[in-house]
Amino acid sequence: MTVTLAIDCMGGDHGPKVTVPAALNFLRKDPDCSVILVGREDDVALHLGKARDEFGARLRIRHASETVDMTDPVATAMRLKKNSSMRVAVDLVKSGEAHGAVSAGNTGALMAISRFVLKTLPGIDRPAIATAMPNINGYTYVLDLGANVDCEPEHLLQFAVMGVQLVSALEHKERPSVGLLNIGEELIKGNDVVKRAGELLRDSGLNFYGNVEGDDIFEGTVDLVVCDGFVGNVTLKASEGLAHMVFDALKAEFTRNIFTKFSALMALRVLKSFKHRFDPRRYNGAGLLGLRGVVVKSHGSADAVGFFNALERAAEAARNRLPERIAERMARLPAASQNLAAVNQ
Segment 223 to 242, residues that bind its own copies, using CB under 8 A: 227, 229-231, 233-242
**Alpha-carbon gap, residue 330 to 123, rounded angstroms:** 6
Stretch that binds its own copies, among 91-99, 132-140, 200-208, 330-338 (CB under 8 A): 132-140
Q: Which is nearer to its own copies, 116 or 218 (CB)?
A: 218
What CA–CA distance (Å, rounded) separates 23 from 20?
Answer: 5
125 C-beta neighbours (distance < 10 Å), count: 19
Binding mask 282-321 for its own copies (x = CB under 8 A): ----------------------------------------
End-to-end CA distance of the chain: 32
Provide the pairing of β-strand 286-289 with 59-63. Answer: unpaired
Q: Which stretch binds its own copies (CB under 8 A): 118-126, 128-136, 156-164, 282-290?
A: 128-136
Does position 273 bind its own copies by CB under 8 A? yes
CB of 245 to its own copies, least distance (A): 4
Q: Does 1 bind its own copies (CB under 8 A)?
A: no
Angular region, 59: left φ>0, alpha ψ -120 to 50, beta rest? beta
Using CB under 8 A, pick the residue from 25, 76, 263, 320 that binds its own copies. Answer: 263
Neighbours of 70 (CB within 10 A): 14
Give the binding range for its own copies (CB under 8 A) out of 32-40, 61-69, 118-126, 129-137: 129-137
Q: 201, 194, 213, 204: which is closest to 152 by C-alpha?
A: 194
Q: 140 vs 158, which CB is nearer to its own copies? A: 140
- Report how far residue 64's alpha carbon sits from residue 80's, in angstroms, rounded to the nearest whole number: 14
In this structure, what DSSP letter does residue 49 have?
G
**With contact defined as beta carbons under 8 Å apart, do 245 and 238 qualify?**
no
The minimum distance between CB 281 and its own copies, in angstroms, equals 17
CA distance 70 to 299: 12
Asked if 185 is part of the footprint of its own copies (rule: CB under 8 A), the reply reads no
Q: Is 258 in the site for its own copies (CB under 8 A)?
A: no
Q: Which residues bind its own copies (CB under 8 A)?
A: 134-136, 146, 149-150, 181, 183, 190-192, 194, 213-219, 227, 229-231, 233-246, 248-250, 253-254, 256, 259-260, 262-264, 266-267, 269-271, 273-274, 277-278
